[in-house]
Chain A
């Protein structure tokens, strides 16, 4: 893929991750702020977390860690955005 596409994929990561989470938990995006807690706030269980992970991989063309739900740093929607941004950056470096 060209660098231009990568640049585009880096745009609006928080908004796109919020939209993915909102769709998975069937709520409007406004109810999914970055500080919302995935499990205790939005009721994301391991199945929904896996669905969110697959949607993120499809949309951003990245590979997430297999035990995303177990990642200690992934507690809020914002934490998830952080993981995506890290993967996007490391992919950019590899190319």
Chain B
């Protein structure tokens, strides 16, 4: 696979262990800021990923609730099934699933702040015994083969350099019939825009520590290499533009409060989000939600699309 950006070329000079360490330090850094900042910017759920807007008048909370319901319906969890949420953030997906299903959920994150917030929110929901969150790098997960019914990456796989290793892990730990869901950013296959620009470097490295965008077809190919079948892909690029617009409005509204908690962070957020917004608006970056299954799917895909009522 070719490197698309400076960040990727630098990552390729590191050993796998060095890259894991780099991600552990640099990616976690962004998310270790005061969780209150992210509540102000991202909303109540602190969902740091695309929302799903039914119309231009939807507010951020409605769009995020719709997105979470959509993930839940796509995963189609039965009582006592197990979910692995990789890069669980402050728990938006994990807690939604804990509240609306009887599944057991294992979340991992690189940020101790995120682990603490998510674990506390799970206890507040009365779901503490079904939810386990730990600080761990995905490549260092040691789970038995065929021990998980669903794996979720919502706005997280973009931080993981060794995608082949990640997909091998998913292929190994999923039980037959197990589902994989990814919601994240991709590059178009045909290069649009300058991927070596200062703007790209700012967003991928300065703001977010490490990001690796690949074309959708490369990700799907790795999913297939791991033995899964792709069952559904949807383009949410325009929804990401709307999501980021609302995040930037929240940064504006709470600029003073954010700067009081972390001087300069409001500026960093607004700058990288505006760069990102421009890329998605111009479709030099794309947003997709991917669903894949290991073995025979148990739902009837003829009944698609899933509506995802919140």
Which range holds the interface residue count of chain B?
10 to 19
Known contacts A54-B267, A54-B270: A47-B275 contact under CB 8 Å: yes
Nearest CB of A to B52, in Å: 20
B252 sits at the interface (CB 8 A): yes
Check B271–A46 contact: CB distance below 8 A: no
- Judging by beta carbons under 8 Å apart, are B271 and A50 in contact? yes
Q: Which residues of A sit under 8 angstroms from B197, Cβ to Cβ? A: 45-47
- The answer for the CA separation of A57 and B249 in the assembled complex, in Å, is 11
* Residue B278 at the chain A interface, CB threshold 8 Å: yes
Q: Within 8 Å of chain A (Cβ to Cβ): is B142?
A: no
Give the A-B contact count at a CB cut-off of 8 A: 38
The complex places the Cα of A9 from the Cα of B248 at a distance, in Å, of 22
Main secondary structure of the interface of A (DSSP, over half): helix
Docked CA distance A11–B307 (Å): 53
Interface of B is mostly: helix
CB–CB A53/B274 < 8 A: yes
Q: Is the CB of B271 within 8 A of A66?
A: no
Contact B252 A63 (CB under 8 A): yes
Which residues does chain B contribute within 8 Å of A58, judged by CB atoms? Answer: 255, 267
Contact in complex: A45, B198 (CB < 8 Å): yes
- CB-nearest residue of chain A to B266: A58
Number of residues on chain A facing chain B (CB within 8 A): 13
B283 touches A (CB below 8 Å):
no
CB atoms of B198 and A50 under 8 A apart: no
Nearest-neighbour CB distance to chain A for B172, whole angstroms, equals 41
Task: Annotate A21-44 by CB proximity to B: 1 below 8 A, 0 otherwise.
Answer: 000000000000000000000000
Q: Which of B199, B248, B267 contacts A66 (CB 8 A)?
A: B248
Shortest CB distance B231–A (Å) = 35
Pick from A45, A57, A63, A67: contact of B281, CB under 8 Å: A67
Q: Which of B180-211 contact A (CB under 8 A)?
A: 197-199, 202
Question: Chain B residue with minimal CB distance to A46?
Answer: B199
**Beyond known contacts A54-B271, A58-B267, A66-B281: 16 more, CB 8 A cutoff:** A46-B197, A46-B199, A46-B278, A47-B198, A47-B275, A50-B274, A50-B275, A53-B274, A54-B267, A54-B270, A54-B274, A57-B270, A66-B245, A66-B278, A67-B278, A69-B278
- Chain A to chain B: the 3 pairs with minimum beta-carbon distance, closest first: A47-B199, A47-B198, A50-B274
Contact sample, A vs B, 20 pairs, CB 8 Å cutoff: A45-B198, A46-B197, A46-B199, A46-B275, A47-B198, A47-B199, A50-B199, A50-B275, A51-B271, A53-B274, A54-B270, A54-B274, A58-B255, A58-B267, A63-B252, A66-B245, A66-B248, A66-B274, A66-B278, A67-B278
